Each structure stands twice: as structure tokens, then as C-alpha cells.
Amino acid sequence: MILIINSGSSSIKFRLYDIQDKNKPKDILEGLAERIGVDGFWSFKYDSTKHEFNDKLPNHKVALKLILDKLIEMKIIENYNDIEGVGFRVVHGGTVSSSSLISDDIYSSIVDSTKLAPLHNPGALVAIDAVKAIMPDAKLVASFDTAFHQTIPKENFLYTTPIEWYENHGVRKYGFHGISYQYILKNLSTILKKDCRKVNAIVCHLGNGASMAVIKEGLSFDTTMGLTPLAGLMMGTRSGDIDPSIIEYMSKELKKDVVEITTMLNKNSGLKGISKISSDMRDVREAFYGGNQNAKIAIHKYTTIVADFMVKYANYLNGEIDAIVFTAGIGENSDFIRTQVLDRVNILGLELDEKLNAYSNDYEDYKLISTNKSKSKVYAIKTNEELMICLDTISKIYLRSTK
Ligand code: ADP
């Protein structure tokens, strides 16, 4: 079996896979431990039953041990050794270019990248330390959200800041959501019956955090997030791209330091900041239908920014686009947002099929939502980052075909 861990500073999302068929891992259970270090609550779903526990969770190690011991008690595993590998989601891997067995060097890269992802990487590190202590024999693999974007050419990843900022301090675009993009590309290759290395696509990963990537001949060519996941699109609570001078200006206006202003750009901006309703697209859409003006502006901005990047990325592909993909919570589910985005793309000859696009949860993995007159195919595809991490973990542990 393989255990997948997506760990934050006070939470651990986990999923267990049976990997007897290494090409088709089978989902056994998924769960969440939260409020770690505060009080603690954890649960998991197994055989369609939800199991809930109120144990105190002082730290990640205690939480993981409780989870693993419960799996033994419930005879889901016999002992820790049934879990041969553990795959960790790591948001920032700096310039590491693929998922990797966690060697001392890889561990150091994660530590070094922590200053670039102070909200995300520490959670992964404490979970890695905890698993190492509890399961010393398991093979540990890190999958990075940044790795997929390491193919972005220098002209695209450099900012227009002094080159020494890049050379001495690593200031460049890294990009995120790479595990999701990798999964989408793999699926697109199957859907289109086309070698991965030939696929040209524009992918919109629209969740709470949101980004887009342009994939040129199977490689990330550009993406909207940057040094950190704050850049690019308007998101649930993050501003996306803004004039950098706003930070100093608002720091003076509000008499707050740069850290506090940056926190406001991360937590109080985007859909939440503009609509003043919610960071959740479903709430904002409800308000939009109710005629709320702030919600209308929020949706207008949200969809215009996606549409603008789509046009820019289509230009990068010379208009030769195999697929435009909508994925993640909003992209997969919201026919409303998909329609609004494509209504604002005027020059690519795209046409949505109203019936195919209409909201319905009837599709398993993907659905085509464009008409056959549309110049490029448009799809909604369900992403599955945990499965991608699991497949990566299997390949690093068993196949040794590592790059
Ligand atoms: P995260 O980045 O936290 O993984 P998700 O990918 O789960 O986020 O996406 C969360 C977003 O998806 C929320 O804004 C939520 O409103 C939106 N969403 C989920 N289901 C729907 C739906 N049926 N219609 C519109 N938006 C949806």
C-alpha cells in the first residue's frame, strides 16, 4: 500500500491506496486530521462509512501514529510495514524538476525553499519528520507543485527586476499546481490519443487557489503563479497580480507593515475582498443571481482575467491548441464560470455546447463541452492530485526510471 500525505501547519489530509496493480492504484480510504496543536479532530471515510475521533492532537507525530494504529485496529493494515511507500505533497521544491525519493539533498531543498513558501512547506517537513520517526523502513517520496514548471524557459520565468535578485536570491517565477497539471496532461494524452510530448494545451486550474498553465509540446511553457502562489489570477482570497507599489502605499495608509499587507493580499482579497460576500464561488454566484453589484464586479473581474490569460497563452501556441481544460472545484463544476470566461474570449473561435456544458455531475473523469464548430476542443476534467502523487511514488519506489 501507499499512503499519500498532504500536510499543512495544523492539518493532515491523507489517502491510502492499494497498489497491487501498480498502473491502477485503488483508493482504500481518505481522511483528515485537523486542529493539530490546538485541540484536535480527525476522521476518515472507509467502505462508505465516516469514522470520527476527538483525540487530542498535540503534534503531527501523535496524529499520524493515532491514524496508523487505528488502521491496524480496524484490520485495514496488519502492521506499518504494509505501507511500503509514503508520498508527500510539497508545495515548493525550488528548482527540483521531478518527484524524488527524499534523500538528504531533497530534504535540504525543501528546507531551503521554506522561505519562499512559509505557509506551506513547514507542514510537509513536520509530516516527513514524523513519518521517518514512526515508519523508518518506509520509502518516502516528495511530489512538488513547482516541479512541472521547471521547463518554463528563462525568458518566461525571469521577472523584470535586477538580474542579481534572481542570481543571488532566487527571485523568479516557479509556478504551482504542477501535480494537477501533470495529471491533466497525462489524461489529455489518453483522451486525445496523442503522445504527451505533442500535446498543446491551456489549462485553467480554478479552485480556492487558482492558476493557469500553457503546455507546449507536453512541457510547461508559462504559468500565472510566480515566486509564490499569490501571483496571477484573482482567487478565493488572494489578489493575484497587482501593481507592486500598492504594498508600500497601503502600508503607509493603514500604518501596517509589509507582512501585514501581504497577509491581506493573501487572505482578504480576491473574490472575498471584492464581493464582500465570500471566498466561495457558490456564494458569490448566488449573490450574482440575486443582483448584488459587488458580486457582479467580482465575477466580471474573475472571468475577464482568466479570459485575458487564455488569449495570451493561445498566442504562445500560435493558436494551435489541442485542448482548453477547466479543472479543480470551480473549473470542474461551474458551467456558469466556464460560460462567463468563454464569453469574454472573443478571438479564438471557441464555442461551448450549452447542453454538454450544463452543470451535471454525470461525468466520471472528463467531458467535452465544446461544439464541433469550436476551433479548439474545450474540456472539463476532474483533477486528482493524490492519485498523481501515488503514481509518482510508485514510479520512484519500484520502477527506478527516475529522471
Ligand atoms: P482547493 O484549492 O481548496 O483545493 P477546490 O478545488 O476544492 O479548492 O475548489 C474550491 C472552489 O470550488 C470553491 O470556490 C467552491 O465554491 C467551488 N465549487 C465547488 N463546487 C462548485 C459548484 N458546483 N459550482 C461552483 N463552484 C463550485
Q: How confident is the model at residue 399 (pLDDT cuts 50, 70, 90)?
A: confident
pLDDT above 50 (res 403): no
Q: What is the mean pLDDT of residues 156-183?
A: 97
Taking the CA of residue 282 as reference, the ligand 1 atom at the shortest distance is 16
Q: Which residues of 139-156 are buried (b: 16+ CB within 10 A; e: fewer)?
A: bbbbbbbbbbbbbbeeeb
Contacts of 122 (CB under 8 A, 6+ apart): 9, 114
> What pLDDT was estimated at residue 99?
96
Which of 211, 235, 281, 385 is the best mutation target for the ligand 1 pocket, counting ligand atoms within 8 Å of the beta carbon and taking the most?
A: 281
Residue 134 CA to ligand 1 centre (angstroms) = 34
Minimum CA distance residue for ligand 1 atom 21: 333
Q: What is the CA radius of gyration of the chain?
A: 21
In the sheet that holds 210-216, the strands lie side by side as: 219-223, 210-216, 201-206, 323-327, 377-381, 366-368
State the burial class of residue 136 (Cβ atoms within 10 Å of its Cβ: 0-12, 13-18, 19+).
Answer: exposed
Q: Is the pLDDT of residue 367 over 90?
A: yes
Q: Report the C-alpha gap between 103 and 56 in whole angstroms.
A: 32
Contact 102, 402 (CB under 8 A): no
Atom of ligand 1 nearest to the CA of 210: 2
For the CA of 208, the closest atom of ligand 1 is 2
Distance 140 CA to ligand 1 centre (A): 30
Distances (CA, A) of 365 to 15, 345, 383: 19, 26, 8
Using the mean position of ligand 1's atoms as its centre, give its distance from the Cα of residue 233 in Å.
15
Task: Give the separation between CA 289 and CA 293, rounded to whole angstroms.
Answer: 10
Average pLDDT, the chain: 95
CA of 130 to the centre of ligand 1 (A): 31
Query: Where in the sequence numbering do the catalytic residues fall?
Result: 145
Percent of the chain with pLDDT over 70: 99
Report the pLDDT value the prediction gives residue 359, as an integer from 0 to 100.
78
β-sheet with 49-53: strand ranges across = 49-53, 41-46, 26-34, 12-18, 2-7, 85-90, 139-144, 100-101
Instruction: Taking residues 196-208, report their average pLDDT.
Output: 97
Distance of CA 155 from the midpoint of ligand 1 (Å):
33
Distance of CA 82 to the CA centre of its chain: 29
User: For a pocket test of ligand 1, which of 334, 361, 381 has the largest count of ligand atoms closer than 8 A to its C-beta?
Assistant: 334
**pLDDT tens figures, 7-48:** 988 899 999 999 999 999 999 999 999 999 999 999 999 999
Mutate to test the pocket of ligand 1, among 212, 234, 330 (most ligand atoms within 8 A of CB): 330
Cα 56–59–62 angle (5° rounding)? 70
Q: How confident is the model at residue 401 (pLDDT cuts 50, 70, 90)?
A: very low
User: 55: closest CA among 45, 40, 71, 70?
Assistant: 40
pLDDT tens digits, one per residue of 248-279:
999 999 999 999 999 999 999 999 999 999 99
Express each pLDDT in 78-133 by its tens digit. 999 999 999 999 999 999 999 999 999 999 999 999 988 888 899 999 999 999 99
Beta-bridged to residue 15, according to DSSP, are 4, 30
Beta-bridge partner residues of 370: 352
Which residue has a Cα nearest atom 23 of ligand 1? 333
| Structure-block grid coordinates of residue 247 | 504594498
Pocket of ligand 1, beta carbon within 6 A: 207-209, 236, 280-282, 328-330, 333-334
Q: Whose CA is nearest to atom 26 of ligand 1?
A: 330
